[in-house]
């Protein structure tokens, strides 16, 4: 079974530029998550999709971050404009169902450096 | 605010000995607790979980203990192996909410 795919793996941009990350979840997984992991911290949920609907985006900085999940499969996360504090690893995860007991499978992440 | 806390940033253990990783939480509404393991340049991988209705769950060398009254859980690895060297994240979630709340992680080093 293929895992969660993410691209690019690394990205370096200057502040005020825009950037987009792509995620392809495990086939059949209805729930997709985007997490931000700042160095030395645990992952923090940015947004959660159930199929193509948003379940939770309470911690997404909506003035600069946006995400979509077209057709309930792939997802993109965009930052525009980027700030220095956005430097982090962006992790995508998916699960069969939502809820606390549903094991989440993580992709390798995209490491973003904002200069 | 940090609802899940891992107060030990790092732990070093000799091969063959027991590794004990600790985690505390503040939200009494959490129903499930999970441990994830992370190697460098990889995403976290699920290790073991426990429901709040249990106090112990075992899977091979890994055992998680939950003390609800103390809002504390621990992961025991016996015996520890060099391949266990990784960052371990404690996470918690409730049935009514969906997000996993992660601790900051504990870096485990198992030396030969």
Kindly identify which residue of chain B lies nearest to residue A10, measuring between CA atoms: B41
- B7: tokens are 């107060």
In this predicted structure, the answer to whether residue B1 has a pLDDT above a threshold of 90 is no
pLDDT of B97 reads: 60
Write a three-state SS string for A49-74: EECCEEEECCCCCCCCEEEECHHHCC
What is the tally of helices (H) and strands (E) in chain A? 0, 11
More confident residue, A101 or B7: B7
- What's the confidence (pLDDT) of residue A101? 60
Length of chain A: 115
Task: Select from A41, A104, A107 the Cβ nearest to the Cβ of B104.
Answer: A41
pLDDT of residue B95: 75
Q: Show residues of chain B in contact with A48, CB under 8 Å.
A: 98-99
Bridge-based pairing of strands B106-111 and B10-14 is parallel
Question: Which residues pair with residue B53 across a beta bridge?
Answer: none
The whole-number pLDDT of residue A100 equals 54
How far is residue B56's CA from residue A95's CA, in Å, rounded to a whole number? Answer: 24
* Contact check, Cβ <8 Å, A109/B43: yes
Mean pLDDT computed over B52-58: 95
Each residue's pLDDT expressed in tens, for chain A with a length of 115 residues = 689 999 999 999 999 999 999 999 999 898 999 999 999 999 999 999 988 899 889 999 999 999 999 888 999 999 999 999 999 999 999 988 765 566 889 999 999 999 9
Between CA B56 and CA A99 the distance in angstroms is: 21
CA–CA gap between residue B80 and residue B112 (Å, rounded): 10
* pLDDT(B48) > 80: yes
Size of interface A-B (CB pairs under 8 A): 66
Distance from CA of B87 to the nearest CA of A (A): 10
Query: Under DSSP, is residue A60 helix (H, G, I), strand (E, B) or coil?
Result: coil
What pLDDT does residue A102 have?
Answer: 66
Q: Calculate the alpha carbon distances from A115 to A38, A41, A79, A84 in Å.
A: 15, 20, 14, 6
Q: Do B91 and A42 touch (CB under 8 A)?
A: yes
CA angle A28, A59, A105 (to 5 degrees): 30
Residue A72 in contact with residue A51, Cβ under 8 Å?
Answer: yes
B1 in A contact zone (CB under 8 Å): no
B70 CB within 8 Å of a chain A CB: no
* Cβ distance of B93 and A100 shorter than 8 Å: yes
Judged by a CB distance cut-off of 8 A, whether residue A56 touches chain B is yes
Rounded to whole angstroms, the Cα distance separating A73 from A26 reads: 9
* pLDDT at residue A98, rounded to an integer: 66
């Amino acid at each position: 079974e293929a895992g969660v795919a993410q691209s690019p793996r690394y990205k370096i941009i200057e502040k005020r530029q825009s950037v987009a990350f792509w995620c392809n979840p495990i086939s059949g997984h209805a729930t997709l998550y985007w997490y931000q992991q700042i160095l030395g911290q645990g992952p923090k949920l940015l947004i959660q999709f159930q199929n193509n609907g948003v379940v939770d985006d309470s911690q997404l900085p909506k003035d600069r971050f946006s995400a979509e999940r077209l057709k309930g499969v792939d997802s993109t996360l965009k930052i525009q404009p980027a700030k220095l504090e956005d430097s982090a690893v962006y992790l995508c995860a998916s699960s069969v169902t939502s809820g606390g007991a549903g094991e989440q499978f993580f992709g390798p992440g995209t490491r973003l450096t904002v200069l | 605010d940090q609802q899940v806390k891992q107060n030990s940033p790092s732990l070093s253990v000799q091969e063959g000995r027991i590794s004990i990783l600790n985690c505390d939480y503040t939200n009494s509404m959490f129903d499930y607790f999970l441990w994830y393991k992370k190697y460098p340049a990889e995403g976290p991988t699920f290790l073991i979980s426990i429901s709040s209705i249990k106090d112990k769950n075992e899977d091979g060398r890994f055992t998680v203990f939950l003390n609800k009254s103390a809002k504390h859980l621990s992961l025991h690895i016996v015996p520890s192996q060099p391949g266990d060297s990784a960052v371990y994240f404690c996470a918690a979630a409730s049935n009514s909410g969906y997000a996993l709340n992660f601790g900051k992680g504990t870096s485990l080093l198992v030396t030969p």
